[in-house]
Amino acid sequence: MKACFCKSFRIEHPVILAPMAGVVPDPLVAAVSNAGGLGIAPLWHVSVCDLRKSVRSIQQMTGKPFGVNLNMEFPSMEHLDACLEEGVEIISLFWQPPGEFLAHAQSGGAKVIYSAGDAADAKAAVDLGADAICAQGWEAGGHVRGNVGSMALIPAIVDAVGDVPVVAAGGIADGRGLAAALALGASAAWVGTRFLAAAEADVHPDYLSHLLAASENDTAHFDDLFDLGWPSAPHRALKNSTSRMWEEAGGLPLGERPGEGDVIATTGAGADVLRYQSKSPSSDLTGNVEAVSMWAGQGVSLVREVQSAGDIVRDIVNEAKATLERLREYQ
Ligand SMILES: Cc1cc2nc3c(=O)[nH]c(=O)nc-3n(C[C@H](O)[C@H](O)[C@H](O)COP(=O)(O)O)c2cc1C
């Protein structure tokens, strides 16, 4: 399958591994790129030294294109410079407008994908020179930039950005979703929740079992719930004991909530994970993982088994081809 995003980013299949901080280790990034998709490593939350180590390790595991994701809520030019010095060719920027980071990345030889939550946000980034836009719909897992579902958002952004390729994110977990995104004018899909069940993902077994059992009704969009460490950043996660406790107490702001300060888990490095903290439940946690922020998108009901990342890429592509073939009867 060839599409505009694939041509400009030199990949074979229009399937992108969404960056997901804390649960996407280097081998998962490399596996998606090696399968012909595009792996994007979330490295904004690690030290510059660890960023360099990750980039080098991914480069050793794949000769194919891959990207690095940086979070403009916590901007660090040092992180961007390290990426450019290490030869990273694709930078993904999300959450806040890209500002000077975009031109700086491009002057260092990288292409920039900007994640947008509405057409005005996307257009502003394109006016600054963004090479591609990730249109993130409200169905998405993790931090959610906008308020519009993918079905309406994708064509709105496609229409706003002219020739710039658009990648669709949010609720796409299989080939039917990829085909739908292509029909709406996107030229690739940015897939998060489905890859949480990749064999290479670094997710805690309790988190994984909740993902595999969840229905499309089991996530909720919260304006501010798992906001300790990252306030005022709406997000989507599985409903859990923390969200129920908070709702039963009236959905109070931080400072007035039940169980605040509870240590609910501990990281492998020995750090406390507090109730209401923004934290991906990675495999090194011990404790009450069910009460941690178990990010997931509404497409979670389509995630039913653990597979290798390469098989996930191939399944999505093959199912998209079959779907597009089936749609020929409507011509
Ligand atoms: C566990 C998790 C962590 C995430 N962390 C990041 C991140 O670090 N950077 C980012 O740009 N997006 C992050 N996101 C959002 C994803 O990149 C993507 O937009 C979203 O997963 C797409 O929706 P889907 O989950 O329905 O496929 C995260 C999503 C999840 C589920």
pLDDT tens readout for residues 191-246: 999 999 999 999 999 999 999 999 999 999 999 999 999 999 999 999 999 999 99
Give the type of residue at 325: E
Least confidently predicted of 2-11, 50-59, 261-270, 304-313: 2-11
Rounded to an integer, what distance in angstroms lies between the CA atom of residue 185 and that of residue 201? 30
Distance, in Å, from the CA atom of 146 to the CA atom of 301, rounded to the nearest integer, reads 22
Q: Which of 15, 20, 139 has the most ligand 1 atoms within 8 A of CB, as the residue to mutate?
A: 20
Q: How far is the CA of 112 from the centre of ligand 1 (A)?
A: 17
Indicate if ligand 1 lies below 6 Å from the C-beta of 137.
Answer: no
Kindly state if the Cβ of 295 falls inside 6 Å of ligand 1. yes
Give the list of residues 6+ apart from residue 7 with CB closer than 8 angstroms, or none: none
Sheet of 235-238: strand order equals 142-143, 235-238, 219-222
Which amino acid type is present at position 4? Answer: C
Third-level CATH fold of 4-200+303-330: TIM Barrel (3.20.20)
- Answer yes or no: are the C-beta atoms of 138 and 170 closer than 8 Å: yes
Reply yes or no on whether the pLDDT at 1 is more than 60. Answer: no
Question: What Rg do the C-alpha atoms of the chain give, in angstroms?
Answer: 19
The residue whose CA is least distant from atom 21 of ligand 1 is 192
Q: Which of 229, 273, 219 is nearest to 254 (CA)?
A: 229
User: What is the reported pLDDT for 2?
Assistant: 33
Q: Is 181 in the pocket of ligand 1 (CB under 6 A)?
A: no
Residue among 105, 95, 110, 78 nearest 9 (CA):
110
Residues 6+ positions from 20 with CB-CB distance below 8 Å:
42, 142, 192, 195, 196, 280, 295
Q: Which residue is closest in CA terms to ligand 1's atom 30? A: 142
Shortest-distance Cα residue to atom 8 of ligand 1: 21
Measure 329 CA to ligand 1 centroid, in angstroms: 35
